[in-house]
Structure 1
Amino acid sequence: MRNTKVKDLLNSTTTLQEVNTKGWVRTFRNNQFIALNDGSTINNIQCVVDFENTADEILKRITTGAAVSVTGNLVESKGSGQKYEIQVAKLEILGDSDPEKFPMQPKKHSLEFLRENAHLRVRTNAFGAIMRIRSVLSFAVHNYFQQKGFVYVNTPIITGADAEGAGEMFQVTSLPLDNLPKNEEGTIDYKKDFFGKHTNLTVSGQLEGETFAMALGQIYTFGPTFRAENSNTSRHLAEFWMIEPEVAFNDLDDNMDLAEDFIQYVIKYALDNCGDDLKFLEGRLLEEEKSKPQAERSEMTLLERLNFVLENNFKRVSYTEAIDILRESTPNKKKKFNYIINEWGADLQSEHERYLVEKHFKCPVILFDYPANIKAFYMRLNEDGKTVRAMDILFPGIGEIVGGSQREERFDVLVEKMKALGIDEKELSWYLDTRRFGSATHSGFGLGFERLVLFVTGMTNIRDVIPFPRTPGSAEF
């Protein structure tokens, strides 16, 4: 018999004769009522077992985590909370679960405990909801760019280029680490390595993406990126996914328009397609808020925060204006910021970004024209010689969510910036070719996908919005 998803059964418009569904037992109470879930929805379907005519050895095997197949009639539920239930005529145990050893018992678990069991945590309501939302957001990303005529480009994961110039990269080598070959200078001879040169896992697909934008007009990348940053915070991962569009002939204003439109589209798509999961996560967040001191509680619920982004135009503010606002702000004057703003040129922290969004402007904010010395080499230098055409989008509860810029299209200016930073022209000769041959104004931005999922789900630790988090000292599963 054809297996019907739990979601489809619960959304049925009528009772049905002899249906079959398969899933995992969430709870089994009174030797009669199974709460069954198959991952298609956050909601369970109640399956009513005829315990008087079911063998005791079968009833004993209906435990939390067990995989079962149930066949019976879909009837109107006699209990509250759901429209339909299944009156079970036939029950089959597909896979047993040891109730004493199965970690995901139907009780509240700490997030730290669940991270230690990342291979099983998706069986909980919270993580099932998070991963379904993540999947929908991923589809929305592709849907948006495909509808806009962008070309999807798969940029290299292994690269010899460091897009950010930060140097915090994972090295890739096939050389024997216990007997590294040396050259005449006594350093490692990378000519004998697999690629014949020093290579790393990529931190960004941007540089390669630019080369395709200068031929295809508008492209986007969406793939894994890696940072060997030894940071154990709730905002950092060593492996994460990046969305990076690049558009020829777009200036910074065009770039801001694109980023605002894109991010509002994907959030609305999640609201339209993940209603049950978002409502559950909102309720979970509200329960968490109750345990916090009043001063630390969020002023908006999860759904209010998402609609806040959709209903408000993004305020565009120069970095210089933002510094003036922060310098004169009450928390800065009363030294309540952890990082006091004293002068122009400061690198803004999350507390500053959130103040601008949540307290001062009360809407999403796009900051632009940052000091050149705190931004990457490829950003276009302004006429003042001290700022670049950079932009960051700031959201409530999270701070920066998007970073981008108009790229430096002038060959001579770009070369001078590279020299000043000690970036080898020969290593990036292929990148400079985009400025040698038919250079034009172009812009792009990067959005860390996990940061987006974090915002949409209301979670507070980025390790909880990726299936298997990779962090310093941890590469389990």
Structure 2
Amino acid sequence: MELMKRTKIVDALKKTDFGEDICIKGWVRTRRGNKNVSFIELNDGSSVHNIQIVADNNKLGIEFLKPITTGACIGVTGKLTQSLGKGQSVEIQAEDIVIYGTADPETYPLQKKEHTMEFLREIAHLRPRTNTFGAVFRIRHHMAMAIHTFFHERGFYYFHTPIITGSDCEGAGQLFQVTTLNLSDLPKAENGCIDYSNDFFGKQTGLTVSGQLEGELGALALGAIYTFGPTFRAENSNTPRHLSEFWMIEPEVAFNELEDNMQLAEDFVKYCVRWALDNCKDDLEFLNNRYDAELIDRLKFVVENDFVRLTYTEGIKILEDAMAKGQKFEFPVGWGIDLQSEHERYLVEKHFKKPVILTDYPKDIKAFYMKLNDDGKTVRAMDVLFPKIGEIIGGSQREDNYEKLKARAKEMEVPDK
């Protein structure tokens, strides 16, 4: 058996050379049958779908097959045959089975039943074997491939920025601190603050909240770069919208104006969604059927329609008109506010019913480096608002007038060093 090359289940399910020998390996999802035959559902992580193994109890031995329960790890060689069963096109008539590892059915927690996310958090070492997490991880892999391919095809350079940094990126998020000092005996300076002079870097450092600063330097040398790596935020907020660790994409392009940024963002989102529709069909169908019956239709709608583009001021007017007609919001609406998720989702899901790119925000709610518009009140910022999410991309055209940049930094009390 070990001499035969293993075939992944995702490939075995597509094969049509019935009668040929095949070798597959994986983890048992279920085993059922009668005194004559056993039906084993096997999965190896390459697909959300299992392949059925038909085992002759008399040939292989009932006692030998007994340990093959949910969670067991096995290898199977046999003949690939056309399946007569519903929902499957192929199956394997087992000729030999090797048991690599068993799972006690009394204690193995992933039995054939629904499991809550709360329960799966308690068995984090096993949850990647579930259909839900397997689908998410495979889609995540494809999104990483799509991201790199999109930017590479457009002449961007993949730019690696520091993970340990002394910059808080203008307060983009709370830093997780990194230190080699003895936490039980921290040295203090004369002013009572911690003395970092003898720390590894000689100053206070933390895990990055953004690679933007270094990315801007890269763009001013290479023209167009993108960062794609781990980002950390020490925000103790237990909501689905806040993560302590995630991967963020940050393109930086020299000479881009706001219109260029908007087109890049729209093209990027559509490219990634199209990649998922083309390469993750089975996983998307599983998530569509299990969690969100409108998922695939919504993704198709995104790639088939242009994004709406409107200014912040126009967006506020739409929200105010909606309130005048009886629409209720938890948070107030008025020019100058920082839009909440409920406001963004109203524009996307109820008013326009498609993704929206909102531009030209009030300068007082945006960073000092965003280019000031001629009105002196708004800046050339943009946010992409997405159905079921709200803001999914944020960006801006940078201020290229040094005197204006210094004045805005002073106005917002950004220190020189």
Question: By the TM > 0.5 criterion, same fold?
Answer: yes
Where structure 1 has 5 or more consecutive residues not aligned to the other structure, the ranges are 287-299, 427-477
What residue is the counterpart of 1:340 in the other structure? 332
Match of 1:311 among 304, 308, 311: 304
Is contact 1:58-1:93 (8 Å) kept? Answer: no
Summarize deviations over 1:263-289 as a string: whole Å, max 9, x none. 100110110001111111100025xxx
Cα offset, 1:239, TM superposition? 0.5
Summarize deviations over 1:136-176 as a string: whole Å, max 9, x none. 01110001111111100000111111114245111111111
**1-structure distance, mates of 2:145, 2:170:** 28
SS in 1 for 2:227: strand
Cα offset, 1:55, TM superposition? 2.8
**1-structure distance, mates of 2:11, 2:343:** 46
Match of 1:371 among 337, 340, 362: 362
SS in 2 for 1:155: coil
Cα offset, 1:62, TM superposition? 0.4
**2-structure distance, mates of 1:13, 1:77:** 11
**2-structure distance, mates of 1:58, 1:419:** 77
What residue is the counterpart of 1:456 in the other structure? none
Aligned residue type for 1:424: P
SS in 2 for 1:175: coil
Q: Does 1:14 align with 2:17?
A: yes
What residue is the counterpart of 2:228 in the other structure? 222
Is contact 1:69-1:94 (8 Å) kept? Answer: yes
Q: Does 1:175 align with 2:169?
A: no
Matches within 5 A, 1:34-73: 34-73=40-79
Cα offset, 1:125, TM superposition? 1.1
Match of 1:410 among 381, 384, 401: 401
Matches within 5 A, 1:310-329: 310-329=303-322
**1-structure distance, mates of 2:121, 2:183:** 31
What residue is the counterpart of 1:359 in the other structure? 350
Cα offset, 1:116, TM superposition? 2.4
TM-score, normalised by the number of residues in structure 2: 0.96
**1-structure distance, mates of 2:314, 2:377:** 15
Is contact 1:320-1:344 (8 Å) kept? Answer: yes
**2-structure distance, mates of 1:361, 1:131:** 32
SS in 2 for 1:360: helix
Matches within 5 A, 1:46-445: 46-166=52-172, 168-286=174-292, 301-330=294-323, 333-334=325-326, 336-341=328-333, 343-426=334-417
**2-structure distance, mates of 1:166, 1:128:** 32
Aligned residue type for 2:332: I
SS in 2 for 1:168: coil
Structure 1 ranges of 4+ moved more than 3 A: none
Summarize deviations over 1:381-438 as a string: whole Å, max 9, x none. 2222221111000111111111111112222222222233333322xxxxxxxxxxxx
TM-score, normalised by the number of residues in structure 1: 0.84
Which is bigger in relative contact order (C-alpha 8 A, separation at least 6)? 1
SS in 1 for 2:97: strand
SS in 2 for 1:192: coil
**2-structure distance, mates of 1:63, 1:329:** 58
Q: Does 1:2 align with 2:8?
A: no
Cα offset, 1:213, TM superposition? 0.3
Between 46-55 and 240-249, report the one with greater CA deviation.
46-55
**2-structure distance, mates of 1:168, 1:421:** 19
| Count of residue correspondences | 411
What residue is the counterpart of 1:459 in the other structure? none
SS in 1 for 2:396: strand
Is contact 1:164-1:203 (8 Å) kept? Answer: no
Aligned residue type for 1:321: E
Is contact 2:60-2:96 (8 Å) kept? Answer: no
SS in 1 for 2:359: strand
Aligned residue type for 2:240: S
Cα offset, 1:120, TM superposition? 1.1
Aligned residue type for 1:239: E
- Identity score, percent: 61
Q: Does 1:27 align with 2:30?
A: yes
**1-structure distance, mates of 2:16, 2:150:** 32
